[in-house]
Structures are given as C-alpha cells and as structure tokens.
Amino acid sequence: MLEVSVRHAFDGFTLDAHFSAPPGLTVLFGRSGSGKTTLVNAVAGLLMPDAGRIAAGSWVLLDTDKAIRLKPHRRRIGYVFQEGRPFPHLTVRQNLAYGAWFAPKDAPREDMGRVIALLGIGHVLDRRPDALSGGEKQRVAIGRALLSAPRLILADEPLAALDEARKAEILPYFERLRDEVNIPILYVSHSASEVARLATTVVALDAGRVIAQGPAAEVLGNPAVLPVGAREAGAVLEARVVRHHADGLTELDAGGIALFLPLVSQPPGSLLRVRIAAHDVILSRGRPEGLSALNILPGVVREVRAGDGPGAIVALDTAGGRVLARITRRSAATLGLVPGMAVHAIVKTVSVAASDVGGARAHRA
C-alpha cells in the first residue's frame, strides 16, 4: 500500500494532495498543470515538499513531522521519465546494468535476461541510445528502472513524447509490468484511453487536489472527473470475450449484455476493458428498432450534468457497468432525462478503437 500526502506551495499554485494506492498500477490522472509531475517528483525525492508524508508499506520515504527526508538515491525508486533519459555515453547493455550497480546486494532482483525478453530489446544491446528509435529508447528506460531493484516504479507520461504507433508499441509492456512484475507502479497520464487500459486504481487530480480516487471504471464513470466538454470523456466496461465471428467481429459479454467490437486478438474467455467514448453514445427512451448500430445497452439514468456550452453528460448504469453519454442539453430536455429514468445507450461497433481495448487481468485490492 502506497500512501502519499503532500503539501507544497509555489508562486500561484498550491499542491495539497492525499491518496493511497493498493498494489497494481495506479494512474495519476489530470490535465496538464494539475500537479501530477510535482507529485511524482516529490515521491522520487527530486522535489522536497513543504510538508507531507510518503510511505510504501512500513518503508517511509518522507515524513516532515519526523524530519525524515530520504535523498533520491536512497529511495529505491525506478523512475521512467517522459523523455526516457537514457545515458548517451553508455551502451544499452551498460544503461540496463547501471541501476543494478547501485542496488543493495541483498535486494530482490529482476533477471536481466527476463527483462530484456519482456521488453524485446535483445537486438539493440550493443548500440548507443542515439542509434535507437523513440520507442526503443523508452523501453530501455523502462528496463533500466526495472533492473535497479526498485520498490516502486514511477512513470511520468512515458508515452507523451511518442507518436500513436510507438504508443501502441509501448502500452502492452506496461500491461505486462502490471500483470507480471510484483512492483507497485505510479503512472502519470492525461490520456483517458491510457487510464482505461492500464489503471488498477485511478487518482484524479485537478488544480493540485485529488477530486476522485478508486477503481478505473468507477472514477472514469464519474462525470466530475472529466469536464463535460472534454473529448476524452468516456467510461470503461469490463467484458469477457465470447467468440470471434467470421465477419470480422468479436462478441463480448458485459454483465449479460452482448457487445460487438471489431475483431480483437485476445482468445475467448479473456477479460477485456473496453472504453466507450461519451461522444460515441446515443441515447433512446424506447428500445430502438431497425437501427444499424449493433450495441444496445439498457440502463437507468444516474446523473445528468450540464456543461457551460451546449453539451451535457449523462451517466447511466447498465448491467455491464457505468456508461457515459455526451449529448446536447436540448436533447436532454426533449427526452426529459431525469435520474431514475430507463433509457437505452446505443454504441456503433466501429467507433470502438483498438487502442481503447486492453487486457484486464488487473490486480484487485
């Protein structure tokens, strides 16, 4: 259990954040300027906050009341920076070995060969970082952090500097870290689809404060977390693969509701997380007939939240989980949507992008 409580004032900005994270991957989620990077730098010891307490289990990194302020090199934290920061004067192999040189001799270590295989960097071991692609550099940075025998891994928007193709290349490695390596991970992101794929727990930050924390589906389904106008608004459903159809569709089961997605690679029986963007959901009061959309989820309106503009976010509970729909305020009025009302959410199959579907073998606290 990671417990973080940090108070720090800059000019014009106060960070006052408290959260606790169960094992697994915890995403610090929020817009830029919400204090995410400041918070991870405080955990890493690169920033000494005015006051606070940071502890992983019984191991205390910072406790200003007791005047405990561990130096960064004593914190045993594997930090994966946004730009990777591999050492340019060392080869990939030396970069990977770097952290291990300084780790205590009795610390539990990852096997170098296993990490190299996990990250797929066996073919670049003798190269220097400037001869690597952006994605390869980032994988080396992950491996270097992992091999320093860390008690906690920090990742500060590790995909932000990469293009979409490279992001898709790295994301599965974080899923594997989460599922195969028994080290808690604190992951900073402002991308809802990264959160949906990776998070065991989400801590949502806004203006230096924690506004929500909990399991991914719960936090992302909370209309307060994302501004109504935000394009990334969307909820996460967990669904099990039923079968792959010959016409290029995969059928899933979400709490008894059949969902059809473009073909996914996971075999039948595996549990998936599917992010459904709020702007891709249509609401209907009666069960629609003669519609091309394949996915119809009956549910009950939980909350209607109007934004400053013409939009509104409707949260509804279905048998498969919470779904968010972004509609106009006019439609909400025309349909007379109020909490407790039965509606149907309609989602086009093709609007679910492959990057929004991820394996869901997440740890549950």
Partner 1 sequence: MDWLGPEEWSAVALSLQVSFWATILSLPLGIFVAYALARWSFPGKQLLNGIVHLPLILPPVVTGYILLLTLGTRGPVGSFLADWGIVFAFRWTGAAVAAAVMAFPLMVRAIRLSIEAVDPKLEQASATLGAAPVWVFLTVTLPMALPGIVAGTILAFAKAMGEFGATITFVSNIPGQTRTIPSAIYAFLQVPGGEGAAMTLVIVSVVVAMGALLLSEVIGRRVAARVGGK
Q: Under the rule (CB under 8 A), what is the footprint of partner 1?
A: 44-46, 71-79, 81, 83, 85, 87-89, 98-99, 101-103, 128-130, 144-145, 148
Measure the CA angle with vertex 271, ends 24 and 138; round to 5°.
50
What pairs with residue 312 in β-bridges? 306, 327
In angstroms, give the least distance from the CB of 50 to partner 1: 20
In angstroms, give the least distance from the CB of 81 to partner 1: 6
In angstroms, give the least distance from the CB of 87 to partner 1: 6
In angstroms, give the least distance from the CB of 110 to partner 1: 14
The residue among 101 and 246 lying less far from partner 1, judged by its C-beta, is 101
Q: How far is CA 305 from the centre of its chain?
A: 24
The residue among 146 and 301 lying less far from partner 1, judged by its C-beta, is 146
- C-alpha distances out from residue 299 to 1, 61, 151, 160, Å: 35, 46, 43, 35
Instruction: Report the alpha-carbon distance of residue 79 to residue 168 in Å, rounded.
Output: 21
**Encoding tokens for residue 318?**
């279905």
In angstroms, give the least distance from the CB of 150 to partner 1: 9
Nearest C-alpha neighbor of 38 from the set 154, 145, 151: 154
In angstroms, give the least distance from the CB of 143 to partner 1: 12
Measure the CA angle with vertex 77, ends 59 and 185; round to 5°.
90
In angstroms, give the least distance from the CB of 39 to partner 1: 15
The residue among 128 and 348 lying less far from partner 1, judged by its C-beta, is 128
Nearest C-alpha neighbor of 82 from the set 208, 174, 188: 188
The residue among 115 and 332 lying less far from partner 1, judged by its C-beta, is 115
The residue among 72 and 262 lying less far from partner 1, judged by its C-beta, is 72
User: DSSP string spanning 185-225?
Assistant: EEEEE--HHHHHHH-SEEEEEETTEEEEEEEHHHHHT-TTT
- C-alpha distances out from residue 42 to 4, 16, 98, 102, 195, Å: 9, 12, 23, 21, 22
The residue among 141 and 347 lying less far from partner 1, judged by its C-beta, is 141
Q: Which amino acid is at 296?
A: I
The residue among 34 and 148 lying less far from partner 1, judged by its C-beta, is 148
Instruction: Report the alpha-carbon distance of residue 273 to residue 106 in Å, rounded.
Output: 38
In angstroms, give the least distance from the CB of 103 to partner 1: 6
The residue among 100 and 230 lying less far from partner 1, judged by its C-beta, is 100
What pairs with residue 315 in β-bridges? 303, 324
Residue with tokens 């010959």: 246
In angstroms, give the least distance from the CB of 35 to partner 1: 19
Residue pair 230/275 in contact (Cβ under 8 Å)? The answer is no
The residue among 143 and 311 lying less far from partner 1, judged by its C-beta, is 143
